[in-house]
C-alpha cells in the first residue's frame, strides 16, 4: 500500500512539473533581457527587466487589443450561456422526440473545423457591416461555444429532479420562471463551469479574430503572432505578450476553482 501511495505521489509530482514548467518558463523569459533569449545554454540567473512589457504596452500598444479580448470573450460567453440555457432546458424538460439525438447533433457542429465557415462568414459580414466589429466577432465565437454550452447544460439540467418543476408549477410558475428561478439557481455550479470553459475557448480563438477583423475589433491573439515574423523573431516580447494573455484566464480559473470542481462533478453527485 505504501509503495502504491508513493508511486501515486511521484506520478502526481511529475504531472505537475510537466504542466507548470512551460508556464514558468514563459513567465521567466518574459522578464529576461531580449539578448538572453538566444543564449545557449539558457540563462537561469539574470537581472529581471520590464523592457519586454514596455515593448508590449507602449511600443505595440496592446491595451486596446486586450480590452477587445475582454469585451468579445465576455459577450460571447454570456450570449452562449443564455441561448444554451434556453435550448438545454427545452431538450431536458419538454417532451421532444429524440432529444438526446438532437443534443448530440448540436454537439457534432462543434466538431467542424472553424476554417470551414470563415469564407461564408467573411462574405456575409462584408455585406451586413459586421466585419471588424465586436458584435460580429461575438456572434462568430458563438458558433464555437453554443453547441458546447447546449450539450453541457443539457446534461446538468437532466440531473435536476422533475419534482422541483412540478412544485413550482403548482405555485403557478410559468416555464420561463421555472428556468430562471429554479433550474438555473440549482445548477449554478454547472453553469459556472460551462461559462469558464466557454470563456477559455473564446479567449484563445485566433482564426476568427484573424479573418473577421482588421484593426478595430482585433483581439489579443492576433498581434501576439506578429512578434514572430519571417525575418525578425522577438522571443522575449513574444513571451511577455503570452504572459499578458495567460494571466486573465489564470485569474479566472483560480477565482472560480470551486465552481469548476463542483460543476465537473455535478452530474456524478446527482446521479449517485
In degrees rounded to 5, what are phi and psi of residue 189? -65, -45
Identify the pLDDT of residue 229.
64
235 near 34, Cβ under 8 Å? Answer: yes
Residue 58, Cβ density class (10 Å: 0-12 exposed, 13-18 middle, ≥19 buried): exposed
Q: Locate the domains of the chain by residue range.
A: 61-271
In degrees rounded to 5, what are phi and psi of residue 44? -90, -40
The Cα-based distances of 48 to 24, 51, 197, 227 in angstroms read 14, 9, 33, 20
pTM for this model (two decimals): 0.85
**pLDDT tens, the chain, 272 aa long:** 678 788 888 998 999 889 888 888 888 888 888 777 666 777 777 788 888 898 888 888 889 999 999 999 999 999 999 999 999 999 988 888 888 888 888 888 878 888 888 999 999 999 999 999 999 999 999 998 999 999 989 988 988 888 888 888 888 888 888 888 888 888 888 898 899 989 999 999 999 999 999 889 999 999 888 777 655 677 788 889 989 999 888 888 887 777 666 655 554 444 43
Architecture of domain 61-271: Orthogonal Bundle (1.10)
The Cα-based distances of 190 to 104, 268, 271 in angstroms read 19, 12, 14
Long-range contacts of 123-132 (CB under 8 A, 24+ apart): 125/212, 131/212, 131/213, 131/214, 132/212, 132/213, 132/214, 132/215, 132/216, 132/217, 132/218
CA 231 to chain centroid:
32
- Please give the Cα distance from 185 to 272 (Å, whole number): 21
Amino acid at each position: 500500500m505504501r509503495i502504491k501511495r508513493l508511486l501515486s505521489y511521484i506520478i502526481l509530482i511529475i504531472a505537475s512539473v510537466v504542466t507548470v514548467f512551460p508556464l514558468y518558463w514563459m513567465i521567466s523569459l518574459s522578464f529576461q533581457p531580449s539578448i538572453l533569449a538566444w543564449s545557449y545554454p539558457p540563462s537561469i540567473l539574470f537581472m529581471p527587466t520590464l523592457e519586454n512589457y514596455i515593448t508590449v504596452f507602449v511600443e505595440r500598444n496592446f491595451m486596446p487589443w486586450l480590452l477587445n479580448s475582454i469585451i468579445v470573450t465576455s459577450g460571447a460567453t454570456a450570449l452562449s450561456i443564455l441561448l444554451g440555457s434556453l435550448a438545454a432546458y427545452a431538450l431536458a424538460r419538454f417532451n421532444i422526440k429524440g432529444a438526446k439525438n438532437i443534443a448530440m447533433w448540436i454537439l457534432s457542429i462543434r466538431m467542424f473545423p472553424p476554417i470551414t465557415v470563415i469564407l461564408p462568414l467573411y462574405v456575409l459580414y462584408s455585406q451586413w457591416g459586421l466585419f471588424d466589429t465586436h458584435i460580429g466577432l461575438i456572434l462568430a465565437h458563438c458558433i464555437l461555444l453554443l453547441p458546447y454550452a447546449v450539450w453541457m447544460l443539457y446534461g446538468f439540467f437532466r440531473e435536476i429532479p422533475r419534482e422541483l418543476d412540478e412544485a413550482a408549477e403548482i405555485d403557478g410558475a410559468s416555464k420561463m420562471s421555472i428556468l430562471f428561478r429554479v433550474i438555473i439557481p440549482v445548477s449554478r455550479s454547472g453553469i459556472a463551469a460551462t461559462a469558464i470553459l466557454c470563456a477559455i475557448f473564446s479567449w484563445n480563438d485566433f482564426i476568427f479574430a484573424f479573418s473577421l477583423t482588421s484593426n478595430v475589433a482585433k483581439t489579443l491573439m492576433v498581434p501576439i503572432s506578429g512578434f514572430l515574423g519571417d525575418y525578425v523573431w522577438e522571443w522575449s516580447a513574444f513571451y511577455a505578450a503570452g504572459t499578458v494573455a495567460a494571466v486573465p484566464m489564470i485569474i479566472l480559473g483560480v477565482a472560480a476553482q470551486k465552481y469548476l470542481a463542483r460543476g465537473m462533478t455535478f452530474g456524478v453527485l446527482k446521479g449517485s
